A and B are shown apart, each in its own frame.
Chain A
Amino acid sequence: MIDPVLSFEDASLSLNGNAGPVEILRKISLDVARGETVGLVGPSGSGKSSLLMLMGGLEQVTDGRVSALGHDLTAMNEDALARFRREHMGVVFQSFHLIATMTALENVATPLELAGARDAFERARGELDAVGLAHRAGHYPGQLSGGEQQRVALARACATRPDILLADEPTGNLDEANGVAIMDLLFGLRDRHGSTLVLVTHAPDLAARCDRVIHLRDGQVVETAEHKALA
């Protein structure tokens, strides 16, 4: 593969549980190309979310190497990873993780402020407009529905125009109608910004919209299926 934006070389992850170390991921090697959409699927506990965390530098491998955009994530400390994320990545969570004390607009503006953008609020307003929530800019998360909260989270993840978009079961907490709407938005934003998208999902129809689907079981990649030819 030419110019991979994400690259795993024999990456393993084990965590200390109450009964001793637990192997979460075992010797994963894979590449994700620029602009590609990848779906991570598999049963609960197969390591999908952990793999996504390694991609975002939210977790560090215990063995092997992970690089993103040519940078070795395994060599970075927590602060360097945080800076890398604010410059290159956007993350969407199943449970939204909006900050309750901030309005929708402030939530979206936060990554821009952290990145030092002078026009953070103007750009945040534009992002909210893009997800159809400009009229709810002054509302707090507690005043928004689940679907609206996830749209704010999407706007926040895309605010810095990230090279890589990571989504962990973004429709998991939503009803079907809202789920479809969010996925349309997610893919639409990806198309508009040209980001690479990796998402964890249990939904087969959602996985089917991805260029490639990676199946995981017991912390290992067991199958890779390509749905579309890469551009």
Chain B
Amino acid sequence: MSLRIAARLARRELRGGLRGFGIFLACLALGVAAIAAVGSVRSGIEAGLAREGAALLGGDAEMRFTYRFASDEERAWMHSSAERVSEIIDFRSMAVVERGEQAEHGLTQVKAVDAAWPLIGAAKLAPDMTMPVALAGRDGLPGAVMQRVLIDRLGLSVGDSFRLGTQAFVLMAALMHEPDGAADGFGLGPRTIVAAEALEDSGLLAPGSVFSTKYRLDLPAGTDIAALAKAANGRFRDTGLRWTDARNGAPGVAVFVERLGAFLVLVGLSGLVVGGVGVSAAVRAYLAEKTTVIATLRTLGADRATIFQTYFLQIGALSVLGITIGLALGGLVPVLLGPVISARLPVPAEFALYPEPLLEAALYGLLTALVFTLWPLARTEHVRAATLFRDALSSAPLLPSLRYLLAIAASLAALVVLAAWFSGAARLTLWTSAGLIATLGMLSLAALLVRTLARWGGAVSRGHPALRWALAAIAARRDGAGSVMLSMGLGLSVLAAIGQIDGNLRNAISGDLPDVAPSYFFVDIQKDQMPGFSARLAGDPGVNRVDSAPMLRGIITRINDKPAREVAGEHWVLSGDRGITYAADLPERTHVTNGEWWPAGYDGPPLISFAAQEAAELGLKLGDRISVNILGRDITATIASFREVDFSTAGIGFVLTMNPGALAGAPHSFIATVYATPEAEAAILRDLAREFPNITAIRVRDAIDRVSDMLAGLANAVSWAAAASLLTGFLVLIGAAAAGEGERTYEAAVLKTLGATRRRILASFALRAGLMGGAAGLVALAVGIAGGWAVNTYVFETRFEVIWPSAIGIVTGGILATLLAGMGFAWRPLATRPAQVLRSRE
């Protein structure tokens, strides 16, 4: 009964139109649109990856091995299961262009293919030609194709020749599109494709060289891929096989897209929370306007439930409208901009209206609206009929009754649980939510502090009327201070935190790292090359230090005879093949934290020294048995000690070190790090590359630049999502400024009557906006620095220092934004004649 009447009353109240609800709708629509858009793009990419799974992978399934080719048994199994099989060899090398005495060196990721490649799709070359023609070469030299970026770096033109190891190639074309490129993951060098048979005399694939082989399978139609995967993994479990199939053709990309998407949605959620502040302010202002109506209804006999339901339904209807606008924007923009977005993405995408991200955004929108509107709506309970005679609301309690507080808490909990569920990253969601709630709490406290300080400041600013009026206005208007602090503060906090995290990460990678990192990493040094390699460097005064170690690669398959992932879960140490070394003596600068290093000349059962931190994360203890698959053979060793390994210096660091007897028989190469002065670097590379063409040199600074570029891209994406929060915050500011316009017009009229000039009144308006913006900026900065410190210290484990340009930018941005919003609404108060205003008040 009560609900039916409430619905009728709400419908009548909605006739008043959307006046005063512009900011309400914009805040909700923008927040929902940002989340819906991020989710829709993510779904579009996921759909694209799923649709193009086989093309991305270059076959229906892939069997990958590290350091070795498939055995006869494995090959026989592949040919019995597939209609066609294509073999690919993937490794890093140096492309060398010799021009007389000078030589250009470029790190490249080489893909050596057979005639069957690609099984699915086609490579695109410029000038246009087929792969067989390109790889056949000309003038007696085998052909190669290269990505444009490497061609330009080496100064090559089509028809020029270059070397990989000792084998010369002729560049036949630029590689414009590599059909299975996305499945290959992150590489430090651009791609070069050659024919596998052309590498026979290159000296690059010697025993112990670092390479992987991939066998792409074209399966008969109707093959049960899941069953085949199970069969392959069961049969070749102990050979180091890695299986991938078209159900998830580019797993690395899919995981990256999913995680980045989840994180961006969380950033978007913070924007929605900022919007919530605006929504709450709009509802408060609206209900304040409706106090007389509510009191009249109370006089006519409406009970509290009817009143609450009336306005709840009204605000609910408007929330649904705002969310619908947001969903339409967020759902349609990716579809409309699909061609533009697709052109910029390195992976396929299929943009359409996806229900799941829209549902996710709608749920977030509804729950946020509930969290932020219940409080002001609950206050309608305290509007008494006596309000018609005097302001009875001012004596109403600040807190709503317990049932509303519980409902708000339940909605908030539902929001966090949903976000955790949708993102699939519960920990990240909980930390983000805790951060947001703590920030909102801090900003509310800061607003209170600012008002208190403004009240105190009023006494000491006597003689400076403009400042005194500004401080008085800040002190008196609780909602004004709260809205500005919360809306601007939260958006700026997110940006400040991103600025501090990004700046410190860049510092760590491109600032600190080059000081402690080696100049070069050399890989694939054969054992018989080590003496010559060391001799070249020993006589060079520009070389400060050379470290070298034997290196093999292997996969940790079992822990204490159980599958490793079952025991220790998902951990980066278990996620792929790892470098493994052996050493007779405890290496220099190595510290054993627990257990004993094996004695000199030890030749007993295999022992392992494990990196201490990673062991702790995996839950390993001394005496545990670890099985490592190296070159298809499982070696099981017992953990004898834990030692500290510092991966942050980009020097040589191995998670696993074994006693020499365990590994020395296996074919392997050496790696070396060379610390040299910048002046000596070029000559070292030239000499070593000439003397040992099979050795690959990785210039650490180039790698750092590559990683920095990638981080810049990530920071950019996150900043865009944060900008949506800031835009919402600015909308809330505009709403607050617009809501206070009438009050400022009256204040200006009174001040003018008392003899104040418009310039002085304007100065007072500017001061209050600037002071509030500055305070919001400072609090945001404090929150951003605290958040940045926590993330850098505990997540990335890097040194932290305040990034001042970002910090100053945040405070300045806060001041400018509030000034802009405040001054935008200063014109009417200054322009209106006092008599006009004062008469209308009488």
Interface residues, chain A, with chain B CB atoms under 8 Å away: 15-16, 49-50, 53, 56-59, 78-79, 81-83, 85-87, 91, 93, 97-102, 106, 110-111, 113-116, 156, 168
Number of residue pairs A-B, CB distance < 8 angstroms: 84
A117–chain B nearest beta-carbon distance, Å = 11
Chain B residues lying within 8 Å of A99, measured Cβ to Cβ, are 12-13, 293, 296-297
B26–chain A nearest beta-carbon distance, Å = 23
Q: List 27 A-B contacts (CB under 8 A).
A: A16-B395, A53-B385, A53-B389, A56-B299, A58-B385, A58-B388, A82-B298, A82-B301, A82-B304, A85-B299, A85-B300, A86-B300, A86-B301, A86-B302, A97-B292, A97-B299, A99-B293, A99-B296, A106-B12, A110-B297, A111-B301, A113-B5, A113-B8, A114-B5, A114-B301, A115-B301, A156-B300
Please provide the chain B residues from 257 to 308 with a CB less than 8 Å away from any CB of chain A in the complex.
292-293, 295-306
Q: Name the CB-closest residue of B to A24.
A: B390
Q: Which of B5, B293, B301, B306 has the most CB of A within 10 A?
A: B301
Chain B residues lying within 8 Å of A93, measured Cβ to Cβ, are 388
A81–chain B nearest beta-carbon distance, Å = 8
Q: Is the CB of A114 within 8 A of B302?
A: yes
Q: Is the CB of A58 within 8 A of B386?
A: yes
B495–chain A nearest beta-carbon distance, Å = 41
Contact with A along B6-37 (1 / 0, CB 8 A): 00110011111000000000000000000000
Chain A residues lying within 8 Å of B384, measured Cβ to Cβ, are 58-59, 78
Q: How far is the CA of A49 from the CA of B388 in the complex (A)?
A: 11
Q: Is the CB of A101 within 8 A of B5?
A: no
Chain B residues lying within 8 Å of A81, measured Cβ to Cβ, are 385
B1 within 8 A of A: yes
Contact with A along B370-406 (1 / 0, CB 8 A): 0000000000000011101110000100000000000
Q: How far is the CA of A85 from the CA of B296 in the complex (A)?
A: 12
Q: How far is the CA of A85 from the CA of B306 in the complex (A)?
A: 15
Q: Is the CB of B306 within 8 A of A91?
A: no
B840–chain A nearest beta-carbon distance, Å = 15
Chain A residues lying within 8 Å of B13, measured Cβ to Cβ, are 99, 101
Q: Name the CB-closest residue of A to B9.
A: A110
Chain A residues lying within 8 Å of B8, measured Cβ to Cβ, are 113
Q: How far is the CA of A78 from the CA of B294 in the complex (A)?
A: 13
Please provide the chain B residues from 300 to 326 with a CB less than 8 Å away from any CB of chain A in the complex.
300-306
Q: Is the CB of B301 within 8 A of A97?
A: no
Q: Is the CB of A101 within 8 A of B302?
A: no
Q: Name the CB-closest residue of A to B382.
A: A78
Q: How far is the CA of A78 from the CA of B304 in the complex (A)?
A: 8
Please provide the chain B residues from 445 to 488 with a CB less than 8 Å away from any CB of chain A in the complex.
none
B360–chain A nearest beta-carbon distance, Å = 35
Q: How far is the CA of A115 from the CA of B297 in the complex (A)?
A: 12
Chain B residues lying within 8 Å of A49, measured Cβ to Cβ, are 389
A5–chain B nearest beta-carbon distance, Å = 18
Q: How large is the interface on B (under 10, 10 to 19, 20 to 34, 35 or more residues)?
A: 20 to 34
Q: Is the CB of A97 within 8 A of B15?
A: no
Known: A78-B384, A101-B13, A106-B12. Contact between A58 and B306, CB under 8 A?
no
Q: Is the CB of B299 within 8 A of A101?
A: no
Chain A residues lying within 8 Å of B298, measured Cβ to Cβ, are 78, 82
Chain A residues lying within 8 Å of B16, measured Cβ to Cβ, are 100-101
B2–chain A nearest beta-carbon distance, Å = 9
| New A-B contacts (12) at CB < 8 Å, excluding given A15-B390, A102-B12, A114-B297 | A82-B302, A85-B385, A86-B300, A99-B296, A99-B297, A101-B13, A101-B293, A113-B5, A113-B8, A114-B302, A116-B1, A156-B300
A35–chain B nearest beta-carbon distance, Å = 23
A146–chain B nearest beta-carbon distance, Å = 16
Chain A residues lying within 8 Å of B9, measured Cβ to Cβ, are 110
Q: Is the CB of B299 within 8 A of A91?
A: yes
Q: Name the CB-closest residue of A to B387.
A: A58
Partner among B15, B304, B390 whose Cβ is within 8 Å of the Cβ of A101 = B15
Q: How far is the CA of A106 from the CA of B389 in the complex (A)?
A: 23
Q: 10 tightest A-B contacts by CB?
A: A86-B301, A58-B385, A79-B303, A111-B300, A97-B296, A101-B16, A59-B386, A101-B15, A114-B301, A58-B386
Partner among B1, B5, B303 whose Cβ is within 8 Å of the Cβ of A82 = B303
Partner among A56, A79, A87, A116 whose Cβ is within 8 Å of the Cβ of B304 = A79
Q: How far is the CA of A93 from the CA of B387 in the complex (A)?
A: 12
Q: Name the CB-closest residue of A to B390.
A: A15
Chain B residues lying within 8 Å of A115, measured Cβ to Cβ, are 301
Q: Is the CB of B300 within 8 A of A83?
A: no
Q: Name the CB-closest residue of B to A85.
A: B301
Chain A residues lying within 8 Å of B293, measured Cβ to Cβ, are 99-101
Q: How far is the CA of A168 from the CA of B299 in the complex (A)?
A: 13
Q: How far is the CA of A97 from the CA of B300 in the complex (A)?
A: 11
Q: How far is the CA of A81 from the CA of B297 in the complex (A)?
A: 13
Q: Name the CB-closest residue of B to A58.
A: B385
Q: Is the CB of B386 within 8 A of A53?
A: yes
Chain B residues lying within 8 Å of A15, measured Cβ to Cβ, are 390
Partner among A16, A56, A110, A116 whose Cβ is within 8 Å of the Cβ of B385 = A56
Q: How far is the CA of A102 from the CA of B16 in the complex (A)?
A: 9
Known: A101-B13, A101-B15. Contact between A58 and B299, CB under 8 A?
yes
Chain B residues lying within 8 Å of A101, measured Cβ to Cβ, are 12-16, 293
B1–chain A nearest beta-carbon distance, Å = 7
Q: Name the CB-closest residue of B to A81.
A: B385
Chain A residues lying within 8 Å of B388, measured Cβ to Cβ, are 58, 93, 97
Q: How far is the CA of A116 from the CA of B385 in the complex (A)?
A: 20
Q: How far is the CA of A231 from the CA of B604 in the complex (A)?
A: 122
Q: Name the CB-closest residue of A to B294.
A: A99
Q: How far is the CA of A168 from the CA of B247 in the complex (A)?
A: 78
Q: How far is the CA of A35 from the CA of B489 in the complex (A)?
A: 62
